[in-house]
Amino acid sequence: MALQHLRSSTADKRPTPGAMSDGQLALNTNLVSPGLFFKDSNGDSVKIGPIHVGATAPNATPGAGGQAGNSKGEAWLDTSATNPILKVWNGSAFVAVQPVGTGTVVSTADTGTVTSTMILDGTILNADVNASAAIAGTKINPDFGSQTIATTGEVRVANINGGPLAGFRNAIINGDMRIAQRGSVSFSNNSLVYGGCDRWLAGCFNFTTATATVRKAGPTGGAVNEIQATTTGTNANQAFVFQQRIEAANVAHLSGQAITVSATLYQDTGSAITPVFNLAKPNAEDTYNSVTYVASTSLASLASLGRVRYEWTVTLGATDANNGLLLEIIFPVAAAITDKYFQIGNVQLEPGPVATPFERRPIGTELSLCQRYFQALGPLDILTSGSLICVMPRADLGSTNENNGIVELKVSMRVAPTVSGSGWQLAGHHNSTPTISTGTQFVVFTYSGADYRASGGRLFATNAQASAEI
């Protein structure tokens, strides 16, 4: 004789606990919602299995006379979404089963936010990341450990190991003001002069009267180019100005690129001022008597006695640097002043949109770069002997009717320089200026007339200098 358990073939009809004895099993054989049940020690009906598969929850609509609700631990594979979700009855509701963590499992059909707790480690592969996806740098842990970074694109960083990225990024020569061959130079209102620190023009404009000295100075932190000025008048657009004219050969490659200017500024007028950075281009190559301004910015306020590092990024036009560049730093002043100071230091103009640490080149290198434009020849002492020998700063005087003294320049200059000086004297013979001819590598001093070799002619001068400034 067959032994049969309590049974029903009615869809969604579950046995009631009262219909089952302890240890007795009950079956529902309906294809839609089959199940095996027993009564637990609490007197509740418990479903053993199988997992219900369907778009609606199991026993959502109990069959006539059947037990309503669900049993704790009962499972349901919810097929209502594109990707089915496994859910378990927790005693009060069906909740989705998650791989790890807490929160809500998100499927491709969901529109909610995916958080890290919803993603199992190792489940996202290279193929899962869209080719156009971009991850912000701020989202990457800065510690790459021993990883090798390889890219065919640009790497943009503020510094490498706290220092400059590479040598000769800075298009400014003598940006740290260490070279000062001319020494202090005085100037007056509405004029620009070379002096103080090499390669830098300085001037003051639009005052009623003004006297000023530009010189190299040395505050804490390094040398600066400094104007000490006394002025009268409160005219509009009064200003103290520093300029550097950059040779086309050094910046033409920057046309069409982003460049960044950075500099440290100081003033002690007693009031805050708003410094200005300007960039201009000469209208002919390396010819700065006619320029066109291409960019300008008013910087943040500079308090009196404040020493501030400023940065400015600008994108040059396609031909803006072809003829060279002019960097101009302006200190606007709205009142008369007495013995006040304006300083610039660590000036840098470099390619790229990031200001990097100041590039400090070896002192010998920086001096040679400056001497391409200006050389202080010093008091000349050209000795005479019976043969033609050119040893800087000595040179022989030549033939009977033309006496030539030749001085070899320290470095090749930008163009054949203009030589100036005072107190020219060929000892025992002349107190007049010699005829001077120049090339980019030498200077020739000539006195015509007698042969001065036998008497040991010596040529002297004060403040002799060769200039090939732009």
d(CA 436, CA 443): 7
Mean pLDDT, residues 399-409 taken together: 70
Q: CB of 85 within 8 A of CB of 107?
A: yes
SS3 per residue for 328-393: EEEEECCCCCCCEEEEEEEEEEEECCCCCCCCCCCHHHHHHHHHCCEEECCCCCECCCCCCCEECC
3-state SS class at 246: strand
**Residue 17 exposed, middle or buried by CB count within 10 Å (0-12, 13-18, 19+):** middle
Please, what is the average pLDDT of the chain? 84
The overall pTM is greater than 0.85: no
Q: Report how far apart, in Å, the C-alpha atoms of 433 and of each of 335, 377, 383, 429 are.
A: 45, 16, 17, 12
Q: How far apart are CA 392 and CA 410, in angstroms?
A: 8
Distance CA 203, CA 197 (A): 13
- 10-26 mean pLDDT: 91
Residue 351 reports pLDDT greater than 70: yes
Hey, what amino acid is at 69? G
- Name the token pair of 66: 């059947």
Q: Which residues sit opposite 258 in a β-bridge?
A: 315
CA distance 243 to 200: 6
* Cβ neighbours, 10 Å, residue 342: 31
pLDDT band at 287 (very low <50, low <70, confident <90, very high): very high
Peptide bond into 50 cis (omega under 30): yes
CA distance 178 to 161: 25
Give the other-Cβ count within 10 Å of 247's Cβ. Answer: 18
CB of 209 within 8 A of CB of 232? yes
Which domains are assigned to the chain?
1-133 (no CATH), 185-362 (2.60.120.260), 375-467 (no CATH)
Strand ranges of the sheet holding 209-217, from the earlier edge strand across to the other edge? 185-188, 209-217, 224-232, 340-351, 258-267, 307-315
Question: Residue 204's pLDDT is what?
Answer: 94
**Lowest-pLDDT range, 108-122, 131-145, 377-391, 417-431?**
377-391
pLDDT tens digit string along 423-453? Answer: 777 665 666 788 889 999 998 887 776 655 5
Dist. CA 305–CA 322, nearest whole Å? 38
* Sequence-distant (≥ 6) Cβ neighbours of residue 440 within 8 angstroms: 409, 412, 413, 414, 415, 416, 417, 468
pLDDT tens sequence across 208-252: 999 999 999 986 567 899 999 999 988 888 999 999 999 999 999
